[in-house]
């Protein structure tokens, strides 16, 4: 089936007439649809629509905007299973994880629906008598949302829901690997009666759609999740227009296991964080740092468990690990594994594509563990975004923290220890936006800030109240009811 862009409440063809297909990465003979490969002309139409809609949507009261999101959340809930199955087919994650992704989207939608009755500003005394002073939140305007394929439903909701409840309008460019899930979400918006132009959807590639969208003079905020390289480029487009730019970029997230940690629990957490979603989470654990005394023990258990993980189609309940998203990801993982071997790391398991039986139909890669990794190696430093875990031995707590922080990234982090003092110290010492104690690096909840330090972003946070800060601007109000000219700062 041929799908269309969604502009001003209408499903319309692209100006280009060109299309691209969405294929199941577990079985490329399964096609999820054909989508318009749009261009700058389509983008311009969508931004104009968002601009017209802003005039009225920003005047709808926030509780009413929230009610619409509430209806949306209810519908998403009703379609959870259908959306989850579709997601597994479109990007490969195993069904129980797809359900988690959809659930995260539902959670965010309910959470932001409720924000419609808060959007708290603040009041404060004025320094002069007979004068009121307070600050309120105002929408920013027309927002470009550019989203990745790894959380095709949850991440778009992190951007679209706070943007809409705050009174902004949105033009959304979803990843070209997951257009169908994007279509289904917008269809639900359409069904609940979102006023036309408030959310517009444009399918297509980064250079043909993403770039003109970011450069468009009427876009005044850009929110992007993806690689640090693309993030830097997008930041420049935003800078030229002095736009607010929200960037959620890469990670090379460490789990530290200390000698006093619960080792069984740690192994469970490592497996889940390194190979869940086939390692394709920004929060995935890709570096494991183990204190000397338990190094061999943990590695032994971990490799044995990893070798038992079943690779396969995510719709099969017996599957533990699904495919990577496409051929170029599979090749990238392969290149990094070759590099790791050349750099002198020891390959303990995996290290090859899935080639047997049905695995030939898609893009599979076996969960891979390297030991004897050093911080100089590319496999220690680069975000691979696949099922590859690099393991390093640490002498003690301080060495472990130094190793953990030896990265340009800083999204998630974790430490396993039973020592309350070390746990508390790690919360301060680990350079990351998120730190887990005695749990892996993945599984952030929607009502807390999400984001990272260093090259993971530019200081902003998604989710939680932080998202409301991202998608609103402050307006400060002074009301002088003295009836005379009062001058602040003590001027007579």
What positions carry a catalytic annotation?
A: 248, 282
To ligand UN1, the closest distance from the beta carbon of 150 in angstroms equals 5
First CA to last CA across the chain, in angstroms? 74
To ligand UN1, the closest distance from the beta carbon of 153 in angstroms equals 11
Question: Smaller CB distance to ligand UN1: residue 151 or 183?
Answer: 151
Dist CA 111 CA 465 (whole Å)? 10
Nearest to 319 by CA among 364, 285, 283, 351: 364
For 252, the 3-state DSSP assignment is coil
Question: Smaller CB distance to ligand UN1: residue 345 or 434?
Answer: 434
DSSP state string for 192-221: TTPPTTSEEE----IIIIIHHHHH-TT--E
Dist CA 353 CA 3 (whole Å)? 33
Dist CA 360 CA 362 (whole Å)? 6
To ligand UN1, the closest distance from the beta carbon of 282 in angstroms equals 3
Nearest to 205 by CA among 36, 87, 89: 36
Interacting residue ranges for ligand UN1, rule: CB under 6 A:
104, 150-151, 281-283, 442-444
Question: Smaller CB distance to ligand UN1: residue 137 or 281?
Answer: 281
Give how far Cα 67 sits from Cα of 62, 76, 116, 426, Å: 9, 14, 8, 41
Residue given tokens 């995996």 in the structure block: 350
To ligand UN1, the closest distance from the beta carbon of 248 in angstroms equals 7
To ligand UN1, the closest distance from the beta carbon of 396 in angstroms equals 29
DSSP state string for 287-338: EEEEEGGGHHHHHHHHHHHHHHPPBS-TTSTT-SB---SSHHHHHHHHHHHH
To ligand UN1, the closest distance from the beta carbon of 340 in angstroms equals 23
Question: Smaller CB distance to ligand UN1: residue 104 or 177?
Answer: 104
Question: Smaller CB distance to ligand UN1: residue 398 or 445?
Answer: 445
- Spatial strand order in the sheet of 253-257: 346-349, 368-371, 388-394, 285-291, 253-257, 412-416, 434-437
To ligand UN1, the closest distance from the beta carbon of 471 in angstroms equals 18
Question: Smaller CB distance to ligand UN1: residue 36 or 156?
Answer: 156
Dist CA 442 CA 461 (whole Å)? 16
Q: Please give, one letter per residue, the 3-state secondary structure of 464-489.
A: HHHHHHHCEEEEEEEEECCCCCCCCC
Question: Smaller CB distance to ligand UN1: residue 194 or 245?
Answer: 245
Listed in sequence order, the residues at least 6 apart from 395 whose beta carbon sits closer than 8 Å to its beta carbon are 291, 292
Is the Cβ–Cβ distance between 102 and 448 less than 8 Å? no
**Secondary structure element (H or E) that encloses residue 285, with its range:** strand 285-291
Question: Smaller CB distance to ligand UN1: residue 198 or 288?
Answer: 288
To ligand UN1, the closest distance from the beta carbon of 386 in angstroms equals 13
Identify the burial level of 78 via C-beta atoms within 10 angstroms of its C-beta, where 0-12 means exposed, 13-18 middle and 19 or more buried.
Answer: exposed
Dist CA 359 CA 346 (whole Å)? 26
């Amino acid at each position: 089936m041929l799908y269309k862009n969604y502009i001003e409440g209408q499903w319309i063809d692209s100006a280009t007439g060109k299309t691209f297909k969405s294929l199941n990465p577990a079985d490329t003979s399964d096609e999820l649809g054909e989508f318009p490969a749009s261009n700058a002309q389509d983008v311009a139409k969508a931004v104009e629509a968002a601009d017209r809609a802003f005039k009225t949507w920003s005047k709808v009261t926030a509780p009413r905007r929230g009610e619409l999101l509430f209806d949306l959340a209810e519908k998403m809930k009703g379609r959870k299973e259908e959306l989850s199955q579709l997601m597994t087919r479109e990007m490969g994650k195993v069904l129980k994880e797809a359900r988690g992704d959809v659930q995260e989207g539902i959670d965010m939608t309910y959470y932001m629906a409720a924000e419609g009755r808060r959007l708290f500003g603040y009041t404060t005394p004025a320094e002069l008598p007979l004068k009121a002073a307070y600050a309120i939140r105002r929408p920013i305007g027309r927002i470009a949302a550019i989203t990745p394929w790894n959380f095709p439903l949850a991440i778009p909701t992190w951007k679209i829901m706070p943007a809409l409840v705050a009174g902004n309008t949105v033009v959304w460019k979803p990843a070209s690997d997951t257009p169908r899930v994007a279509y289904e979400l917008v269809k639900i918006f359409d069904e609940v009666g979102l006023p036309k132009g408030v959310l517009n959807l444009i399918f297509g590639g980064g250079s043909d759609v993403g770039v003109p969208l970011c450069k468009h003079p009427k876009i005044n905020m850009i929110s992007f999740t993806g690689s640090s390289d693309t993030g830097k480029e997008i930041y420049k487009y935003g800078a030229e227009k002095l736009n607010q730019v929200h960037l959620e970029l890469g990670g090379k997230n460490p789990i530290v296991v200390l000698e006093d940690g619960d080792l069984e629990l740690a192994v469970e957490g490592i497996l889940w964080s390194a190979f869940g979603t086939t390692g394709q989470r920004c929060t995935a654990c890709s570096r494991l740092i183990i204190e000397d005394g338990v190094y061999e023990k943990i590695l032994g258990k971990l490799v044995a468990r990893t070798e038992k993980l079943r690779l396969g189609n995510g719709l099969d309940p017996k599957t533990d690990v699904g495919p990577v998203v496409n051929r170029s990801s599979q090749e990238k993982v392969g290149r990094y594994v070759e590099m790791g071997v050349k750099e002198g790391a020891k390959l303990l398991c995996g290290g090859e594509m899935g080639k047997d039986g049905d695995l030939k139909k898609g893009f599979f890669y076996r969960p891979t563990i390297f030991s004897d990794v050093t911080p100089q190696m590319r496999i220690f430093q680069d975000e691979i975004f696949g099922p590859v875990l690099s393991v390093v031995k640490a002498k003690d707590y301080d060495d472990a923290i130094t190793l953990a922080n030896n990265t340009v990234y800083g999204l998630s982090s974790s430490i396993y220890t039973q020592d309350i003092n070390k746990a508390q110290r790690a919360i301060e010492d680990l350079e990351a936006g998120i730190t887990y104690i005695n749990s892996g690096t993945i599984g952030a909840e929607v009502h807390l800030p999400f984001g990272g330090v260093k090259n993971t972003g530019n200081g902003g946070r998604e989710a939680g109240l932080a998202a409301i800060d991202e998608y609103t601007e402050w307006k400060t109000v002074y009301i002088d009811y003295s009836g005379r000219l009062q001058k602040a700062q003590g001027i007579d």
